[in-house]
Structure 1
Amino acid sequence: MIKMFSGVWALLLGIVLIMLGNGMHFTLIGLRGGIEGFSSAELAIVTSGYFLGFLSGARLTPILIRRVGHVRVFAALGSFMSAGLIAFPLLTEPWAWTILRILIGFSMSGIYVTAESWLNDAATNETRGTVLSAYMIAQTLGIIGAQGLLTLGDAGTSVLFICASMLVSVSFAPILLSSMTAPVAEVARPMSLRKLFESSPLGAIGIFLLGSIYATQSGMGAVFGSQIGLSATQIALFVAMLFAGALVLQYPIGWLSDRMDRRQLIFGAALLGTVSCLLGWMAGGGLWPLMAAAFFAGGMTTPLYALFLAYTNDFLSAEDMPAASGGLVFTFGLGAIAGPLVTGWAMEGLDPFAFWLVLGATFAAIALYALYRMTQRAPTPVDQTEAYIGILPTTSPVAVEAAAEWASDNAEPDTDR
């Protein structure tokens, strides 16, 4: 174990620092946008811009790496991201923020691709599951920790944006100065959406809807908090609870995933997400009911992502899993672009608590579709399913493919598939 982490500690430390900076910027957008008087619809467009850039970066970064190499791409994208973070308080216009968010989303996606390629190359078949789990924990702790840093400054000034930029800049030092070799980033061509749907309708539809939920929670959560009058500290706590729930509930849901029909678990998790959102909607601004709603709604989102990946892989051969992983990431990205737009317009047309209504309706759609699919296909025997591994929605196709490979290697052999 010590030998394994001695080879990846620099990368994990760098990821924590990157997520501190990126996590700060996500919440800062909602805080500063409220101060600047941006509407919900405008901030929704800004939020969607990040996921548009993220989706583009996942497709284009492997091409850039093959042309100029890991180190150059990593350093260049880090520079772009750091500069973009500093530019936010200098260009306080919705159109400028949208462009900056596209740039940061593209850069962040490329950073994930390069970092995860290093991580995957450093792991063996025996250690890949442990390394990926440590990577996911590092990401989540970084995002949660970022919310604490937001309480140390004023979102109305440039200080917090500068701090986020500094954290991102410093994060590259332990990675670039380490002795890790730079592998070639190999990402499989994504499976077509039609073939993906034919292989697993629930996986394809579910992960699209989940993309809208994740992007709404992470991008519009601070906007919601700002519009209902929460303080900066309360907003930071609210966002932290969204990710704390994922950290706490990932393991028990993963444990259940390998022991029961995954469609039933998907239905149950989505139903709990729906109930949590109803609690948030009825809270009427009550602080602790809102925090409980955020904990359980956020706590269902990340495990559902890993569940959809594992469930889809149950119906694929090992050769098709990499392409399907890319297709699922692309489908998730499409949902992530659409979700904040729908939520922002609903909040603009109704009231800020439409944030919970849209989330709840989307969770409910997942639950109902899972229930419907139970009537259309026989359950896969538990001993023939792929192993579950917790994977975050923020990861690139590189980590998703690595997780699929690990799941295939650690699943029970199935001679009938």
Structure 2
Amino acid sequence: MVQVFFASWALFLGMFMLMIGNGLQGTLLGLRGEVEGFSTLEISIVMSAYFLGFLGGSRFTPKMIGKVGHVRVFAALASTISAVLIAYPVLTEPWAWILGRTVIGFCFCGVYITAESWLNDSSDNENRGQALSIYMIVQMAGIVSAQYLVTLGDISGYVLFIVASMLVSLAFAPILLSAGRIPEFGTAKPMSIKQLIKTSPLGSVGMFLLGGVFAAQFGMSAVYGQRVGLTVGQISVFISAIYISALVFQYPIGWLSDRIDRRILIVGLGAFGAGGCLVAYGAGAIVEDSFVAIVIGGVIMGGTSNPLYALLIAYTNDYLEKEDMAGASGGLLFVNGVGAVSGPLILGWMMDQVGPGGYWMFLLVLMAGIALYALFRMTQRERDIEYDNVPYAPISAAGTAVIAEVAQEVYIEAEEEVIAEAEAEADDEANADQETSNDTDRDTN
């Protein structure tokens, strides 16, 4: 893994800075919106706008790259991000922020697609899985670092917005200078939603519900923290806990998913995540200073929801032929994006109705819904007792269809290795049986 990192360190550095800039603006807008007196509904629309733009970017960026190429698309979108980040503190009106978040969601999606295309092109069959793991670590590290930066400036001023803009601008250099040849770009045509639901109802429903969970984590956590009276430093710790636990738990859960019925694991993670939300909600209602309980709730939520994302993709792949996996990943990401767009809107309404505790109630309902639906599906479809699973690959919800297809290639390559090993073992057993039979014949003669 170290060798893979140093081979593409400049590309990873650029992505790290991009993730800091994106993570910083997400938390900063939630905090600044409270300072500016935005209503919960207005803030929730602002947060939803990012995911709406991201969905648009996933559809139109490939067409833009096809017309003018990777470099021009990357430069144009990245410079637009920098401009919007500086515009936020100048135009502190809900309508301006909604427009800005839509644009910035579109642009970040396009930038990620372009950078991930270069990353995919720089890896091969031998190190693609390692590159995927490093990419996920870089993403999480960037978001966590952004939470620390929030504590170093005045959220009511301009400096933090300028820092975010500078980081995005500086990210251009290592990515563009490290990128090799211009890769051939193309993503598989997404599988139709109807076909996706028919193939894996649990994968489809689970990804939709997880979209709402991720939108709440990324967009509304800072708003919740401020509503319950946390300091900026405490909010930073709370959000960091979500993403650190997401990274820590990804690999042990992935190891376990390759060895048991994945539906059992989905039920367990959904129920455990719902339990963590219940603890945090209950502590907030009973104890005045419940910061520790809030952080524990964040750890459980991040440690269960993020691995569930990769787990649901792997579970869906268990029922697909290899040639359909790439298309299915695009469909699953679209379903997840629709859930992400609607998530903050519903959460904002809940927080208006029941107070800040609506944050945990919303997450509890979604995680419990995943667990209960998985239990229901276990009664509808039998699973092979041998649990013939497609090997698990770690992937973050912050990626695009390009990195999802990289993960699918890792799935396919791992499955081919398993099949080849099984065939080799079968051949060895057949040869051994033949030799035994020959020895028996000679003894008889």
After TM superposition, the score normalised by the length of structure 2 is 0.91
Aligned with 1:342 (options 346, 354, 359): 346
Q: Which has the larger radius of gyration?
A: 2
Q: Which moved more, 1:89-98 or 1:171-180?
A: 171-180
Match of 2:377 among 373, 377, 388: 373
Aligned to 1:188: 188
Q: Distance in 2 between matches of 1:380 and 1:29?
A: 48
**Maintained 8 Å contact 2:5/2:134:** no
Residue of structure 2 aligned with 1:307, choices 284, 292, 311: 311
Contact 1:18 1:167 in 2 (8 A): yes
Deviates more, 1:279-288 or 1:257-266: 279-288
Task: Judge which range, 316-325 or 377-386, deviates more.
Answer: 377-386
Contact persistence 2:58–2:110 (CA under 8 A): yes
1:317 aligns with 2:315: no
What residue in structure 2 maps to residue 329 of structure 1?
Answer: 333
Query: 2:44 is paired with a residue of what secondary structure?
Result: helix
Equivalent residue runs for 1:50-69 within 5 Å: 50-69=50-69
| Partner residue in 2 for 1:170 | 170
The 3 A distance-change label for structure 1 pair 382 and 118 is: farther
Alignment-mate amino acid for residue 368 of structure 1: L
TM-score using structure 1 length: 0.97
Q: Tell me whether 1:358 sits opposite 2:362 in the alignment.
A: yes
State the one-letter code of the partner of 2:274: T
Which stretches of structure 1, 4 residues or more, deviate above 6 A after TM superposition? none
Aligned partner of 2:293 among 289, 292, 306: 289
The answer to whether residue 85 in structure 2 is matched with residue 85 in structure 1 is: yes
State, as a whole percentage, how many aligned pairs show the same letter: 51
How far residue 380 of structure 1 moved from its aligned partner, in angstroms, is 4.1
Q: Is the 8 A contact 2:17 2:142 kept in 1?
A: yes
> Aligned to 1:90, what secondary structure does the other structure show?
coil
2:329 counterpart letter in structure 1: S
AA at the equivalent of 1:394: A
CA offsets 1:215-243 (integer angstroms, 9 cap, x no match): 01111000101111111111111111111
Pair 1:207–1:382, CA change in 2 (3 A): farther
Partners of 2:4 and 2:244 in 1: how far apart? 26
| 1:386 match: secondary structure | coil
Asked if the contact 1:113–1:185 (Cα under 8 Å) also holds between the matched residues in 2, the reply is: no
Partners of 1:403 and 1:150 in 2: how far apart? 32
1:23 equivalent in structure 2: 23
The answer to whether the 8 Å contact 1:210/1:305 transfers is: yes
Q: 1:259·1:382 contact (CA, 8 Å) conserved in 2?
A: no
Pair 1:372–1:210, CA change in 2 (3 A): same
Secondary structure, counterpart of 2:298 in structure 1? helix
Q: 1:178 deviation in Å?
A: 2.1
**1:9-408 matched pairs, under 5 angstroms:** 9-284=9-284, 285-380=289-384, 382=386, 384-408=388-412
Report the alpha carbon displacement of residue 384 of structure 1 after superposing the two structures with TM.
2.4
Distance 1:211 1:335 in 2: 4
CA distance in 2, matches of 1:124, 1:382: 31
Partners of 2:8 and 2:178 within 8 A in 1: no
Moved more, 4-13 or 141-150: 4-13
- Partners of 1:226 and 1:306 lie apart in 2 by 31
RMSD between aligned alpha carbons? 1.3
Structure 2 residues not aligned, in runs of 5+: 423-445
SS in 1 for 2:341: helix
Q: Deviation digits for residues 364-398 of structure 1, max 9, x if unmatched? A: 00000000011111124556211111101110001
Matched residue type, 1:413: I
Aligned residues: 415
Instruction: Tell me the residue number matched to 2:419.
Output: 413
Q: Equivalents in 2 of 1:77, 1:242: separation in Å?
A: 29
Which secondary structure does the structure 2 equivalent of 1:177 belong to? helix
Q: Measure how far apart 1:4 and its partner are.
A: 3.2
Q: Which shifted more, 209-218 or 184-193?
A: 184-193
